Structure 1
Amino acid sequence: MNFRFAAVFLLPVGLAHAEPRITQSDFGGTGLLQTPTARMAPAGELSVNANRTEPYSRYSVSLQPLDWLEGSFRYTAITNRAYGSEALSGSQSYKDKAVDAKVRLWQESHWLPDVALGFRDIGGTGLFSSEYFVANKRYDNFDFSAGIAWGYLGNRGDIDNPLGYVSDRFDTRPALEGTGDVNSGSYFRGKPSFFGGVSYQTPWDRLSLKLEYEGNDYKHEPKDNVIKQDSPINFGAVFKVADSVDISAAWERGNTAMFGVTFHTNFASRKAPAKTYDPTPEPLPAKMPTTSMEQVDWANVSQRLQQNAGYKVERITQRDSELIVYGEQQRYFHSSKAVGRASRVLDNSVNDDINWFTVVNKRYDLPLEETSVPRETFREVINNEEPVLSLHRTTEINPAMPRNEKTLYSEAPQHFSYGVGLGFKQNVGGPDGLLYQFSADADAEYRFNRSTWWSGLLSANLINNFDKFTYDAPSGLPRVRTDLRRYLTESEVTMPMFQLSHTEQLDKDLYGMVYGGYLESMFAGVGGEVLFRPTGERWSVGADLNYVRQREFDQGFGLRDYSVVTGHVTGYTDLPYDMLAAVSVGRYLAGDWGGTMDISREFSNGVRVGAWATITTASSAEYGEGSFDKGLYLSIPFDEMMSMSTMRRANLVWAPLTRDGGARLNRGYQLHSMTDSRDDDMFYRNFEKITE
């Protein structure tokens, strides 16, 4: 499994839900102990869980992208079973990987309960696969649950399958160990069992108690484990150490202790840290300046726009009573905050001949959108004479269009820039166990002009345990990704990227880019991309085409013999609940043809959670374990975690296995992400930041 991680700090967040508290189960996901409930955490909730119940150690992450949808991914270490032969994995215990999902079908009302449908282990080996219906009803400080489960959760099988009256096939559940597929052929098959329980919120708000009856009798455990159950009744407690930390303890099976810890936060409702390291926004003058436009120190205005509003200015122009700034935003994640600060700087600098301030946001010389602020209304709002809603109604976002203007100031481009930082790579889930690397990374950029640039990245190893990385997964396809071990171990200093790029606005809503060089750690080549993205629309479409060759394992300048033409046509569209769907069809790095579906949700603060699945012409046998490519991801703006503004993101991507089928080129620059500001929803959802 390939697990790419950028550090995320889970900061405290106040509880936003009603009591009794909604807590995590042993498996991850809201529930009691071994059993799930129909309850859902608030949208935007992230929980990281770890617990131990002999012989299982479980580690899971649960995400709540929507009020009615919960997703989890989990590792289970079966500590009394070996991963494989000693030659393959030494003494490492067996590791199982799984994906769970739960959907609320009915929300609790005065008379009716919450009702949910759930699936465990839908994308893994099927060792713990299960399907269930569960209902919850709350009474005062008690929250009662009851459900019916097939598969692992219902292994006692103490009732006949009611679906057997529909078809005899539902009476028998097929064995699924080791498939790594979606397991849909086993859904709701076999004899099910009832389960249920109750949670009780004690008068002490830090302590909750749980009692449950589980439907598993532990007589059919994975890997032929022999586990004794003295009682189907489990009981335990959850103690809130802090708003973001829970610890759990329980007595399960009538003979086994469980201990666990959960870290959680809510990225939709939590407040970002105060930006104490940001410059103070310029106060508005009591009276507008009287200096003529010819006497303004525009170089000083440009400097203040960069230092205080984050815009690297290209030029400043005038069109009648409108002052226009062309520049590239380099600091503020929320464009409304940047526009507000730029308006303050301009209001402090020009006389009352100017009635409108317009900022044209550009990225590598691509005009993305222009935001126009009425000066008088802006001043009234800042001075608390009008509500911010008045400014919301009159502020305009339009396509950036060329027009006749008087140029007041132009600034020469800054050619060279660089940065240093700490890198982290992780690979977990194979027979080599947890692998990691910390590196010192240096990136640099040279702009030949505003639309043509070179970018590079050097990475020097600091500490790693890759000497334990000995396993290459089998593959029936060209090894475009499964040579990962060699790319990670053959050099102490690597060059993941060394690339020349050029962008161009081809038409009002049409953008293009060409690029060439060492495009990622495993492939070099040349390619191009076009994107049609109308301003303010909820859809766009793009295409890319690339000719690439495989790089040498040391990630230097050398190339290997394997080459391929790869590319995709991708359509993007907004969905309800602030969701985005991206569908790509084309050719992948191993020469297989197919499609990728990516569904994500972005919250108002920019936090994005999503999942993807790729199915190609590669057969299950060619692809290997897992059958097809799939994964989950979480992207968090560093702006949400730091005391200074930044446009960078922390990205966590979870793919259960590294395989060659469905592999796409990992390009560092993509037009859709480069033009995200053309979607004005984020601007208006955070419009109040225009006053900060």
Structure 2
Amino acid sequence: MSIFFYVNFLHSDYLDYIYEDRNPSYNSFGVAGLIQTPSAEILGEANLHFVLNKNDIYKLGTLTIAPFDWMEASYFYYRPSDLLWAGPLSKGLYLDKGFNVKINYQPKFKYAPKVAIGMNDFAGHSLFSREYIVATQAIKNFKFNLGIGWGAFAQQKNYKNPLEFLGDRFSERGDLYNKDYGVGGNFSTDLWFTGPVGIFGGTEISIPYAKGMKFKIEYDPFDYMDFSCCGGGTSPESMYLRSKDSNINYGLSFPAFSENLTFDISYIKGNTINFTVAFGGNFSNSFFQKPKYKRVKPTITAKDKTKKTFYIDLLKNLNRKGLYLQSADLDSENDLDITISNSTYRSHIRSSSYAADTALSVADEFDIDVKKIQITHLNADMELSKISYLTKSFDNPKHIELIKKDTEILNNDVNGYKSHEFVPNVKFPSFHYGWTPAMVNHIGSPEKFLFAGAVIRADTQLQFSRRLMLSTNFAFDLGNNFDEKVSDPGSQLQNVRTEIVRYLQEGDKYIPLMQLDYIWPISRDINAKISSGILERMYGGVGGEIIYKPLDRNFAIGAELYHVKQRDFDQLFDFKEYETETGHVNFKYQFNQGVILNLSYGKYLAQDVGYTFDLSRRTKSGFRAGFWFTRTDVSFEEFGEGSFDKGFYFQIPVDLFLRKHRGAYTNFRLRPLTRDGGQKLNQGKRLNGMLMNTQHINFRNQWSDFLD
């Protein structure tokens, strides 16, 4: 048996050497596959890619995310070169958008193929509407795909739907432009897996010693006079551009410069050259190796080894590492309790183990035999995690399972650190500032896909006490093309968001935030915050929130209520007439697999009432991807195009791109359309975000960070 495994190991390395980069690649539509058709493969958890495609018929831009190894989701924009938007002079202005999803399964039997089920453009008036089941079998450097598909897959040659035994509704496919889909944006469930089916398939061949180059060939089942057609109508060029001379597509895929950038060039439908570029990467690990923790002899400045001088040298050594000491207490049993403030490390196991090891090194220099050490993290007078280590854990830091067994994560206290023997004096008020370049954008307009600009932002914080602080952002416009965009809210509701273009156009020097916060730790598990001032770019007001977040549970419950007034377009200190109350009751639940569910119910900015459903996945690296939708008492017709508010987002830890640790994140959030229904206040510094690492489940994936 051991010989068998040894041979397989050598065989795997041998193939990896000859056929470098046998990972899946993306097709024209940003779905893992061949050229125009999908495969059963997925690039893997925490993959994020932008896929751009261009040929004579259309341009496609797709953002594809894999929150799990077995799931891939994407959002695309489609701009055909030949279709009309609003009359004969609007050729090339038509813009469509949609969502794709694919789920796959790898059977336990080694030689069985991967199988996937997927849906492309599955909502509303879907020009690409299609569903499929596909199998992929890999044999050395060959990957064979074979699948059946509904919708667009059955446009040329089709067969009886094998699902007809489930009911007559599966025998025929409905009309994409049925009035039941109203103003678009609804899930077209009546169409899914209905009507006749078509067959598709193909092969991908990894070329030996070609540094990841692949040859692809496939059977193309699409009728391009129907597929991705016809928007506001065809133009005289459509018949020529969309004609098809062959059902066989073939092409090459090859990485350029690095595995994070891939080019595809192919020949489709017998008469058209097709280009695809995929740029992105896997965010399950850092792109750069960070230096490992090294135990360094502490710097001791004390001449007399007393408890007071121990505290002072402890303060200096911790502060030097960005672990700012807030309090310390060494009791008669030589148990050491310290409180730190940390903005450098996202993982509290990492920061607490670094702080504990540093403290033990200082204690050794003072001949103090510490038995147990407890590290508490503090954020704005709120005690977060309290981690209690046995000192023997630091003798063998690689024995993680034993360390987990010996370590306790305890309930925090309300201002327990203030009773410690050593509490350094912090001088208030304190002032902090920094300069940050930033991008602002407006995506998805028919007249131009992207309107964007650059600003330089001054971020300041004036802290009057641990609980009271004023946060201000000043933004200075460096340049943009927003003046090319016409502001046209076109909404039946109060324009609470649809006038965003006016805000983008008229704010050359503006104040996105000037918020005064008072933090109030009520009990171990309950915290509150009162805020007033300029709360976001479009609104100012006053209000507060409260949250219950118990240590030994996976849920949090909170509520918020604000009275807000809409700001003037110049975004300085003037306001418009519209004002309202907005507030929600919020529920959050974290599942063991990193899945996070957020539900909220309440009143939105346009005074509509309803709920928001938000589902996301956070990987071990901190990468998070999710989607949301909101349904309120506003009808689909009153809401307008899109029917209801929805979108997706992802969050990437900044230090994945750095050679050192950093606690910040970069965020991206996109909704297909900006409408007025279902709009929340974009209030900064929410309590839930300030209370990170306060529940047992938050530490599940952090133990490998111990003295790492």
Instruction: Give TM-score, length-normalised by structure 2.
Output: 0.89
Q: What are the residue-to-residue correspondences of 1:19-30 with 2, within 5 Å?
A: 20-30=22-32
The answer to whether the 8 Å contact 1:102/1:118 transfers is yes
The 1:316/1:86 distance shift into structure 2, 3 A limit, reads farther
Q: How many residues align?
A: 667
Structure 2 match to 1:9: none
Structure 1 match to 2:331: 319
The 1:197/1:169 distance shift into structure 2, 3 A limit, reads closer
The answer to whether the 8 Å contact 1:315/1:411 transfers is no
Task: Give the match's secondary structure for 1:685.
Answer: coil
The answer to whether the 8 Å contact 1:283/1:344 transfers is no
Give the letter aligned to residue 200 of structure 1. I
Does residue 390 of the first structure (1) align with residue 394 of the second (2)? Answer: no
In structure 2, the gaps of 5 or more residues are 1-15
Structure 1 match to 2:426: 412
The answer to whether the 8 Å contact 1:431/1:471 transfers is no
The 1:478/1:575 distance shift into structure 2, 3 A limit, reads same
Q: Give the distance between the partners of 1:286 and 1:431, measured in 2 at CA.
A: 63
The 1:92/1:55 distance shift into structure 2, 3 A limit, reads closer
How far does the alpha carbon of each residue in 1:418-477 deviate from its partner, in whole angstroms, 9 at most, with x for none?
A: 111101111111134110010010011111110111111111100111111114231121
Cα deviation, residue 587, structure 1: 1.1
Structure 2 match to 1:198: 203
After TM superposition, the structure 1 stretch with the greater mean CA deviation from structure 2, 640-649 or 598-607, is: 640-649
In structure 1, the gaps of 5 or more residues are 1-14
The 1:446/1:328 distance shift into structure 2, 3 A limit, reads same
Q: Give the distance between the partners of 1:45 and 1:149, measured in 2 at CA.
A: 26
The answer to whether the 8 Å contact 1:365/1:451 transfers is yes
Structure 2 match to 1:589: 605
Cα deviation, residue 100, structure 1: 0.5
Aligned to 1:212, which of 214, 218, 225? 218
How far does the alpha carbon of each residue in 1:384-436 deviate from its partner, in whole angstroms, 9 at most, with x for none?
A: xx634433332221111266954123221452111111011111111341100
Q: Give the distance between the partners of 2:130 and 2:401, measured in 1 at CA.
A: 50
Q: Give the distance between the partners of 1:285 and 1:509, measured in 2 at CA.
A: 36
Structure 1 match to 2:11: none
After TM superposition, the structure 1 stretch with the greater mean CA deviation from structure 2, 338-347 or 231-240, is: 338-347
Structure 1 match to 2:568: 552
The 1:372/1:129 distance shift into structure 2, 3 A limit, reads same
Q: Give the distance between the partners of 1:29 and 1:244, measured in 2 at CA.
A: 16
The 1:484/1:335 distance shift into structure 2, 3 A limit, reads same
How far does the alpha carbon of each residue in 1:508-539 deviate from its partner, in whole angstroms, 9 at most, with x for none?
A: 21111111111001111111111111114211
The 1:264/1:272 distance shift into structure 2, 3 A limit, reads closer
How far does the alpha carbon of each residue in 1:298-340 deviate from its partner, in whole angstroms, 9 at most, with x for none?
A: 34432332230x2333222233422222232122222222212
Q: What are the residue-to-residue correspondences of 1:430-441 with 2, within 5 Å?
A: 430-433=445-448, 434-441=450-457
Cα deviation, residue 593, structure 1: 1.0
Q: Give the distance between the partners of 1:583 and 1:430, measured in 2 at CA.
A: 30
Q: Give the distance between the partners of 2:349 and 2:502, measured in 1 at CA.
A: 46
Structure 1 match to 2:296: 283
Structure 2 match to 1:573: 589
The answer to whether the 8 Å contact 1:121/1:128 transfers is yes
The answer to whether the 8 Å contact 2:298/2:358 transfers is no
The answer to whether the 8 Å contact 2:592/2:697 transfers is no
Q: Give the distance between the partners of 1:368 and 1:634, measured in 2 at CA.
A: 25
Q: Give the distance between the partners of 1:297 and 1:416, measured in 2 at CA.
A: 29
Q: CA RMSD in A?
A: 2.6
Q: Give the distance between the partners of 2:36 and 2:393, measured in 1 at CA.
A: 58
Does residue 661 of the first structure (1) align with residue 663 of the second (2)? Answer: no
The answer to whether the 8 Å contact 2:40/2:134 transfers is yes
Q: Give the distance between the partners of 2:123 and 2:435, measured in 1 at CA.
A: 38
Give the letter aligned to residue 156 of structure 1. Q
The 1:676/1:534 distance shift into structure 2, 3 A limit, reads same
The 1:566/1:469 distance shift into structure 2, 3 A limit, reads same
Give the letter aligned to residue 199 of structure 1. E
Task: Give the match's secondary structure for 2:457.
Answer: strand
Does residue 328 of the first structure (1) align with residue 328 of the second (2)? Answer: no
Cα deviation, residue 106, structure 1: 5.5
Cα deviation, residue 98, structure 1: 1.3
Cα deviation, residue 59, structure 1: 1.3
Task: Give the match's secondary structure for 1:219.
Answer: coil
How far does the alpha carbon of each residue in 1:467-492 deviate from its partner, in whole angstroms, 9 at most, with x for none?
A: 11114231121111000011111121
The answer to whether the 8 Å contact 2:555/2:589 transfers is yes
Among all aligned residue pairs of Structure 1 and Structure 2, give the percentage whose two residues are the same amino acid: 28
Structure 2 match to 1:464: 480
Task: Give the match's secondary structure for 1:306.
Answer: helix
Structure 2 match to 1:75: 77
Task: Give the match's secondary structure for 2:190.
Answer: helix
After TM superposition, the structure 1 stretch with the greater mean CA deviation from structure 2, 606-615 or 468-477, is: 468-477
Cα deviation, residue 595, structure 1: 1.0
How far does the alpha carbon of each residue in 1:164-197 deviate from its partner, in whole angstroms, 9 at most, with x for none?
A: 4521564132123962322222222333311111
The 1:603/1:285 distance shift into structure 2, 3 A limit, reads same
Task: Give the match's secondary structure for 1:302.
Answer: helix
Task: Give the match's secondary structure for 1:21.
Answer: coil
Of structures 1 and 2, the one scoring higher in RCO (CA 8 A, sep 6+) is 1
Q: Give the distance between the partners of 1:425 and 1:389, measured in 2 at CA.
A: 46
Give the letter aligned to residue 630 of structure 1. K
